[in-house]
Homo-oligomer: A and B are copies of this chain.
Amino acid sequence: MAAPKLSAISTRAPKSADKEKTKQKTARLISELDELQNLLIAENKNALLVIVQGMDASGKDGVIRNVFGSLNPLGVSVKSYKAPTAEELSHDFLWRIHKHVPAKGMIQIFNRSHYEDVLITRVHGWCDDETAVKRMKAINDFEELITQHNHTTVLKFYLHISQKEQQERLQERTHDPRKMWKYNEKDFDESRLWKKYMNYYQQCFTACNKIPWHIIPSDQNWYKEHLIATVVHNALSKLNMQYPGLKK
């Protein structure tokens, strides 16, 4: 599949999309995820890894809450990757990732991921181009490993927002009392590096597209949630899962 080209993709829903109808469809898809997850657990043959990437305030937490929030907590787990610890830095960059890949029957969500090791690290000059190329090769190998050797479906989402939308959301955090806890002054500094980020994201999409990226127009949450629910629903449906019979 051809790698997606970020600059050619809108951050907004097409004008023809009907918000209310789309929301109804999303609600139906999400309600059906419940039974698909039950099958995933019961059959215990496949695993699902969902990688959520995006700039600050692109709505990663909202996806986790609104698309995956009604699943059975027994079978879904979220790992949020922050700056690596000293112990993590003393290992290869996939060491802390490998620990948290899903077991059979499980849905694992990565809130940020190993892709940060070729994104924020490059933007700030902590990872040079040569290392980045090697890392992206290692990422491809790693994703192939868990796909082939533990029946893991890997879904990679980039939440595509405009810088203007991001600025509005970051501003909102400075005056909405329910959102102030998310405010971080440094997010504004990172935002100034937007073009660099887009460049390095594009390189990820090009170099690591063996398992394809889904670029999700995310300025509007209802549209973002619809697209992601659709992809997840399709991926689980394609597994053709069955309830196992009685163990002998």
Output the least CB separation between A42 and chain B (Å). Answer: 4
Copies of this chain present: 2
On whether the beta carbons of A74 and B70 are closer than 8 Å, the reply is no
Find A178's partner among B77, B109, B243, B247 (CB 8 Å cutoff). B243
**Interface 0/1 of A115-140, CB less than 8 Å to B:** 00000000000000000000000000
Distance, CA A181 to CA B174, complexed state (A): 50
Could you tell me how many residues of chain A have their Cβ less than 8 Å away from some Cβ of chain B? Answer: 33
In the bound complex, do residue A42 and residue B181 qualify as a contact, i.e. CB atoms below 8 Å apart? yes
Additional A-B contacts beyond A183-B247, A184-B247 (14; CB < 8 A): A42-B178, A43-B181, A44-B181, A68-B73, A69-B71, A69-B72, A70-B70, A73-B77, A73-B109, A77-B78, A178-B243, A180-B245, A183-B246, A185-B247
Main secondary structure of the interface of A (DSSP, over half): mixed
A72 cross-chain contacts in B, Cβ below 8 A = 61, 64-65, 69
Check if A111 is an interface residue, CB within 8 A of chain B: yes
Seen from chain A, the residues whose Cβ lies within 8 Å of a Cβ on chain B are 38, 42-44, 61, 64-65, 68-74, 76-78, 80, 109, 111, 174, 177-178, 180-181, 183-185, 243-247
Residue in chain B with minimal CB distance to A180: B246
Find A111's partner among B74, B76, B183 (CB 8 Å cutoff). B74
B74 with A65: CB separation less than 8 A = yes
Contact B74 A243 (CB under 8 A): no
